[in-house]
C-alpha cells in the first residue's frame, strides 16, 4: 500500500509536467541543433549498452546524455530492463541466477528481446516472434536471433499464436495486455492514469509489490532521482520479472492441447511450414503461395499483401513450428510423410509430368517464358521446390488438349516480378512422346517416354550421313549469312549464334544441336516442326531441313 501512495503522490505534487516527467537540467529548453544531434547519438549508445546488459557503461552514457538535454521517461525503457535484469540476478543468488540465464533463451513463450512472456505476440518478417510491447517501443532495429532487419509498424498480433496463449496461459496474457495499456497511456502523456493502472497490476500480487519496493530502495534509482513515471515503468516490469524468477520455463497443459488448434484454414490439415502474414494470419507456406498466385490478398481478412508478395520472403514462424514438433510429434511425423510422398510423386519425370501448353521447344535451344497464369505459377514453383527444375512443353491440340510429342525444358533461372508474375529462363532437354494425359491442380500432366535417335552402325552409311550433315550445315550457314541484317540480329538476340559443327554427329541422343537451332529459327508451320521433332532418324531430319532451306533460298530477296 505504501508503494501505491508514493507513486501517486509523486505525480500529484509535480508543479508542472515537464519538470516531473523529464530528467535533465533546468535550462534544457535551450538545446542547440548540434547538441540535439549529439544527444540522440549518446542516447543510442547508452541504449545499445543497456540492451547488452552493460549496466555500468550504460549509467555513464546516460549521465553524458543529460549534459546535452532532457531524457524522456519513455526513452529509459531499455535502461529499466537492464536494471531489472541486474536486480533479478542479485535477488536470485548465484546458483538460481545461473539457472535463469541458462533457461532464459530456451522458453519458447519468452520474447527474445525482453525475455518476458510473449503476451500479445507479433511475428516479424524473419519468422521470429516478439511481444507487442518491444515492437511498439521501437526497441528493435534487428532481430535478436538472426540479425535480420526489423521494420517499424509490424505490430499486428499473430491470431493463431495469441489464441493459443490465451487458452494456455490466460492470466499471464491478461497481465501482458494491461502492461501494453500502461505503455499506451504513457505515449499519450496520461501519466496519472498510467501510474494508477500500474499500481493495480502491482496490487494484484504481493510478490510484485515487494519487488517494486526493493527496486525503489535501490541506491542507483535514488541517485539519479528517477521520477514517478520511471518508477511506474520499473513497477510494471518488476511484476513481470518476478514472474520470470518464479517460473523460468512454461509447459503447455496437456488437457488443453488440441491438434485442431494448429490446422491451416486453407487445407484443413496440420500446419506444415507455417507462415504468418503481416496481417497476423497463419497458413501452410504452400497453401499461402497458391492463394497469392490468384490474388495478392490475405485469404481470411482480404488485407492487401502486395508488398509481402513482392518480397517473396515466406519465412516459417519459428514458435509455431517448434510447438508442433514438440507437442504434436506424431501428428507432425504423419504430416511430414504425406508432404514427402506428394513431393516424391511430383519428382517423377516419367509419370504425371507437368506440361506447359504453349509453344514449340527443342533440345539445346533457349526458351524464355513469361509466366502469369496461377496454374503455371504453381507448376513452376513445384518444379523448383522438388529440385527437378524440369517440365514438358507441348503445343496445343484442339482435340486432345496438347500434342502427342514435346520437349522437356530445364529451368536455368526464375526472375519473380513484384506482382507474382515471373520470367523463366529455360533451355530444351530431352524429347518425349505422350502416353497418357491428365490434369493436376489446373495444369496438364502426362505419362511420357523419352525419344532417342536410332544410331547408325554401318560405317559406309555413317559416312554418307556425315556428308549429308556437312552439306546441310554449309547450306544453313550461307542462308543465315545472307539474311537481311534485321532478321539476322533478331535471331541472334532470341536464339543466339548458330551452333558449331560437331565432330561426332551421334554423340547425343538428340543428334547435332544445329538441327534444332535451325528448326527453331526457320519460318515454318509448327505442325511441320512437330513432325521433325518426333523423328528418331537423323537422316530423315536432315533431309527435311535441307528441303526447307532449298525452298527458302529459291525465293527472290529471301
Query: pLDDT tens, position by position, for the chain (558 residues)?
Result: 333 333 333 333 333 333 333 444 444 444 466 666 777 787 778 777 777 778 777 777 777 777 777 777 667 767 777 776 666 555 555 544 443 333 344 578 888 888 888 888 999 999 999 988 888 777 678 888 888 888 866 578 999 999 999 999 988 888 888 877 877 777 777 877 777 777 776 666 533 333 333 333 333 333 333 344 444 444 444 444 444 444 446 788 889 999 999 999 999 999 999 999 999 999 999 999 999 988 899 999 999 998 888 888 899 999 999 999 999 999 999 999 999 988 888 888 889 999 999 999 999 999 999 999 999 999 999 999 889 999 999 999 999 999 999 999 999 999 988 888 999 999 999 999 999 999 999 999 999 999 999 998 888 999 999 999 999 999 999 988 888 888 888 888 888 888 998 888 988 999 999 999 999 998 888 999 999 999 999 999 999 999 999 988 887 765
Q: What angle do CA 23, 24, 27 make, to 5 degrees?
A: 145
Instruction: Give the model's pLDDT for residue 443.
Output: 95
pLDDT at position 390, please? 95
Residue 122: predicted pLDDT: 92
- Which pLDDT does position 412 carry in this prediction? 93
pLDDT at 312: 83
Question: How high is the pLDDT of residue 328?
Answer: 93
Cα 471 to its chain centre, rounded Å, is 55
Within 13 Å of residue 300, how many CA atoms lie on the same side as its CB? Answer: 15
CATH no. of 258-341: 3.30.40.10
Q: How far apart are CA 498 and CA 516, in angstroms?
A: 10
- 472: burial class by Cβ within 10 Å (0-12, 13-18, 19+)? buried
pTM for the model stands at 0.66
Q: If phi over 0 gives left and psi between -120 and 50 gives alpha, with beta otherwise, what is residue 117?
A: beta
Are residues 263 and 255 in contact, defined by beta-carbon separation less than 8 angstroms? Answer: no
**pLDDT tens-digit profile of 299-312?**
999 999 988 888 88
pLDDT given for residue 381 in this prediction: 92
For position 178, what pLDDT does the model report?
Answer: 81
Phi, psi for 351 (deg, rounded to 5): -120, 140
> According to the model, what pLDDT value does residue 207 have?
38
Taking all residues of the chain, what is their mean pLDDT, rounded to a whole number?
A: 80
What single-letter DSSP state applies at residue 23?
A: B
Burial of residue 270 (number of CB atoms within 10 Å: 0-12, 13-18, 19+): buried
Burial 491-514 (b: 16+ CB within 10 A, else e): beeebeebbeeeeebbeeebbbbb
Domain boundaries, the chain: 2-22+72-116+164-246, 258-341, 348-450, 459-554
Which CATH entry fits the domain spanning 348-450: 2.30.130.40, 3.40.50.720, 3.30.930.10, 2.60.200.20? 2.30.130.40
Q: Which pLDDT value is given to residue 392?
A: 96
3-state secondary structure 530-554: HHHHCCCCHHHHHHHHHHHHHHHHH
Report d(CA 436, CA 355) in Å as an integer. 12
As a whole number of angstroms, the distance between CA 31 and CA 43 comes to 15
Using DSSP, state whether 458 is helix, strand or coil.
coil
pLDDT of residue 95: 47
Other CB atoms within 10 A of residue 23 CB: 21
Amino acid at each position: 500500500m505504501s508503494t501505491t501512495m508514493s507513486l501517486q503522490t509523486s505525480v500529484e505534487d509535480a508543479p508542472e509536467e515537464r519538470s516531473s516527467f523529464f530528467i535533465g537540467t533546468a535550462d534544457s529548453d535551450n538545446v542547440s541543433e548540434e547538441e540535439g544531434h549529439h544527444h540522440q547519438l549518446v542516447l543510442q549508445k547508452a541504449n545499445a549498452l543497456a540492451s547488452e546488459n552493460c549496466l555500468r557503461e550504460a549509467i555513464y552514457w546516460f549521465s553524458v546524455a543529460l549534459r546535452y538535454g532532457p531524457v524522456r521517461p519513455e526513452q529509459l525503457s531499455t535502461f529499466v530492463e537492464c536494471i531489472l535484469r541486474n536486480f533479478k540476478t542479485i535477488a536470485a543468488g548465484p546458483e538460481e541466477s545461473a539457472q535463469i540465464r541458462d533457461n532464459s533463451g530456451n522458453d519458447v513463450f519468452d520474447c527474445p528481446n525482453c525475455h518476458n512472456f510473449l503476451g500479445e505476440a507479433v511475428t516479424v518478417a524473419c519468422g521470429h516472434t516478439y511481444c507487442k510491447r518491444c515492437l511498439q517501443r521501437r526497441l528493435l532495429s534487428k532481430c535478436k536471433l538472426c540479425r535480420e532487419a526489423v521494420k517499424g509498424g509490424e505490430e499486428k498480433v499473430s491470431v493463431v499464436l495469441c489464441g493459443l496463449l490465451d487458452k494456455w496461459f490466460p492470466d499471464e496474457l491478461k497481465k501482458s495486455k494491461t502492461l501494453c495499456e500502461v505503455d499506451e497511456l504513457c505515449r499519450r502523456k496520461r501519466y496519472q492514469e498510467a501510474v494508477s493502472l500500474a499500481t493495480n497490476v502491482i496490487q494484484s500480487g504481493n510478490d510484485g509489490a515487494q519487488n517494486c519496493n526493493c527496486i525503489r530502495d535501490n541506491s542507483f534509482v535514488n541517485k539519479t532521482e528517477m521520477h514517478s513515471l520511471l518508477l511506474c515503468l520499473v513497477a510494471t516490469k518488476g511484476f513481470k520479472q518476478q514472474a520470470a524468477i518464479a517460473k523460468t520455463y512454461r509447459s503447455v497443459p496437456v488437457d488443453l492441447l488440441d491438434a485442431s488448434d494448429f490446422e491451416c484454414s486453407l487445407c484443413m490439415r496440420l500446419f506444415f511450414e507455417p507462415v504468418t502474414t503481416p496481417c497476423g494470419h497463419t497458413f501452410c507456406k504452400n497453401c499461402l503461395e497458391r492463394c497469392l498466385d490468384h490474388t495478392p490478398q490475405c485469404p481470411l481478412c482480404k488485407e492487401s499483401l502486395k508488398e509481402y508478395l513482392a518480397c517473396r520472403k515466406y519465412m516459417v514462424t519459428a514458435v509455431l513450428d517448434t510447438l508442433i514438433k514438440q507437442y504434436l510429434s506424431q501428428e507432425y511425423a504423419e504430416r511430414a510423410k504425406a508432404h514427402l510422398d506428394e513431393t516424391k510423386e511430383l519428382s517423377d519425370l516419367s509419370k504425371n509430368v507437368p506440361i506447359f501448353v504453349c509453344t514449340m521447344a527443342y533440345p539445346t535451344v533457349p526458351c524464355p517464358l513469361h509466366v502469369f497464369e496461377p496454374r503455371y505459377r504453381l507448376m513452376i514453383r513445384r518444379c523448383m521446390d522438388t529440385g527437378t527444375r524440369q517440365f514438358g512443353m507441348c503445343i496445343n491440340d484442339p482435340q486432345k488438349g496438347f500434342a502427342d510429342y514435346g520437349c522437356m525444358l530445364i529451368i536455368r533461372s526464375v526472375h519473380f516480378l513484384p506482382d507474382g508474375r515471373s520470367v523463366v529462363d529455360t533451355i530444351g532437354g530431352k524429347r518425349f512422346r505422350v502416353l497418357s494425359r491428365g490434369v493436376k491442380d489446373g495444369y496438364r500432366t502426362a505419362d511420357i517416354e523419352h525419344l532417342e535417335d536410332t544410331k547408325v552402325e554401318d560405317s559406309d552409311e555413317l559416312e554418307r550421313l556425315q556428308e549429308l550433315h556437312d552439306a546441310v550445315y554449309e547450306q544453313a550457314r550461307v542462308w543465315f549469312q545472307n539474311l537481311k541484317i534485321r532478321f539476322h540480329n533478331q535471331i541472334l538476340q532470341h536464339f543466339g549464334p548458330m551452333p558449331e559443327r560437331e565432330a561426332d554427329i551421334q554423340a547425343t541422343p538428340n543428334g547435332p544441336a544445329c538441327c534444332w537451332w535451325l528448326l527453331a529459327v526457320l519460318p515454318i508451320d509448327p505442325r511441320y516442326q512437330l513432325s521433325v521433332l518426333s523423328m528418331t532418324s537423323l537422316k530423315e531430319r536432315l533431309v527435311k531441313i535441307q528441303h526447307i532451306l532449298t525452298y527458302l533460298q529459291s525465293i527472290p530477296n529471301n
